[in-house]
Structure 1
Amino acid sequence: MRAKDIMSSPVHTVTQTDSVEAAVQLITARSVTALPVLDAAGRLVGMVSEGDLLRHRVPADPTAHIRRLPDTDPADRPAMVVEVMSPSPVTTRPDADVADVAETMLACDVRSMPVVAGGAVVGIVSRRDILRAMVRGDDVLTAEIQQRLDAYGGGKRWTATVENGVAHVGGTFQDDTEQGIVLVLARTVPGVAAVKIG
């Protein structure tokens, strides 16, 4: 499965000069965890996340603390996205393997990754997108694999069953090439952990 198969598109973005408030409104209205930040030419220059937007925005309640906290001047708070965004975002390509995308997300501790092609942001993949694609019942996986096999074989030449995410494909094959194609057809169904032939 590739990033393009599960990415959200079109992508909601902000610019460097947008206000922090505008970014907060967009994140909450669209129920996303982060937004790609574009420069005036439309190039990706950063990401702004819920965490970035929370910093310097939640005032401490002085009644909740034993010692008095210093007063903070609201004028000192960041006003524009460029002041709070994370520069040099971690990105991926539309044809990237979702397993590699997930591994990179975990290694870099990011919750979403822009999908970039030809210098433009064409989509975004979140951890939630990956989970939604991966966590599917065996019955759903069986039906999807069987549908692909029947379409390719022109009828019921093979039988698919899935148990705990592992697909089992039974039937006869004309040659190793056909077996390889069937293996790929089953393996590329989102949520399939492994495929066994025979």
Structure 2
Amino acid sequence: MLVKDLMSYPVVTVSENSTVGEALDILKKKNIKHLPVIDKNQSLVGAVTESDLLKVFPHGKELSSFESNLLLRTPVSKVMKTNPISIAPDEIIEKAALIMCTNRVSSLPILEGKKLVGFITKNGIIEAFITALGYREGGTRVTIIFQKKWGFLSELVSFIDSKNIHIDNIVTFGNELVLKVKGNRQDFASDLKQAGYTVVDVSYIEPCEAKAK
């Protein structure tokens, strides 16, 4: 899965000359928490988040006339993070996740050359994780010990095929391998145990259609 498969577009942006008050209004109206900042040439010059802006004007605080006036006059360029970390649309989603984790940021603007073409947040990464595990579709989730040796996966898949069971999702986490198959198949776990695989967890997941915002 690539970054472009999960990015949001078109991107809601704000001008570097827009005020903090205008930026907060955009965030509220669009129900978002991140805003890329562009210059007159539509090039990315910075980024602001709701928390950045609320540090300047705390939410719920009754503003004085001076503070209200300041809110109207303070440009976003005064509070934005300059030179924001970005990523290209054809990069893999794992790289985006690592960049966010390493740099402790919750969003990344997506650039094609110098052009802003999309935006991805940590919610997009969570969406990819849920998709990889097939959680929404439901089914039987079985975790076994993953032996990192030649032929392990091919033998496992051949064994599952021999039982006429279709694998919906397969993911590894360190020394564990998670399989998800359709329906409530507790017998599948028993078959794996009898075949010599070490089963550490079996769970049945009800299908869930609701998507997180």
TM-score for both structures, normalised by structure 1: 0.64
Residue matched to 2:37 = 37
For the structure 1 residues 168 and 13, does the alpha-carbon distance in structure 2 shift closer, same or farther, using more than 3 Å as the test?
same
Give, as a single letter, the amino acid of the residue that structure 1 aligns with 2:109.
P
Alignment of 1:55-74 (within 5 A): 55-58=55-58, 73-74=66-67
Alignment pair present for 1:23 and 2:23: yes
Paired residue secondary structure (1:96)? coil
Distance of 1:108 and 1:30 partners within structure 2: 26
Q: Which moved more, 1:79-88 or 1:128-137?
A: 128-137
Alignment length, in residue pairs? 148
Shift, 1:29, TM fit: 1.7
Alignment of 1:1-198 (within 5 A): 1-58=1-58, 73-74=66-67, 79-136=74-131, 138=134, 140=137, 159-162=166-169, 166=178
Give, as a single letter, the amino acid of the residue that structure 2 aligns with 1:24.
L
- Over residues 41-64 of structure 1, what are the superposed CA-to-partner deviations in whole Å (9 max), with x where a residue is unaligned? 1110000111111122128979xx
Paired residue secondary structure (1:40)? coil
Paired residue secondary structure (1:135)? helix
Shift, 1:80, TM fit: 1.0
For the structure 1 residues 24 and 95, does the alpha-carbon distance in structure 2 shift closer, same or farther, using more than 3 Å as the test?
same
Shift, 1:162, TM fit: 3.1
CA root-mean-square deviation: 3.2
Paired residue secondary structure (1:129)? helix
Residue matched to 1:173 = none
For the structure 1 residues 4 and 83, does the alpha-carbon distance in structure 2 shift closer, same or farther, using more than 3 Å as the test?
same
Shift, 1:98, TM fit: 0.8
For the structure 1 residues 116 and 76, does the alpha-carbon distance in structure 2 shift closer, same or farther, using more than 3 Å as the test?
same
Distance of 1:15 and 1:87 partners within structure 2: 13
Maintained 8 Å contact 2:35/2:49 = yes
Structure 1: where are the runs of 5+ without partners? 63-70, 143-157, 170-198
For the structure 1 residues 46 and 98, does the alpha-carbon distance in structure 2 shift closer, same or farther, using more than 3 Å as the test?
same
Shift, 1:141, TM fit: 8.6
Paired residue secondary structure (2:56)? coil
Maintained 8 Å contact 1:45/1:88 = yes
- Over residues 64-98 of structure 1, what are the superposed CA-to-partner deviations in whole Å (9 max), with x where a residue is unaligned? xxxxxxx9952566611111111010100001111
Distance of 1:94 and 1:81 partners within structure 2: 26
Distance of 1:94 and 1:19 partners within structure 2: 30
For the structure 1 residues 60 and 122, does the alpha-carbon distance in structure 2 shift closer, same or farther, using more than 3 Å as the test?
closer
Paired residue secondary structure (1:105)? helix
Question: Alignment identity in percent?
Answer: 28
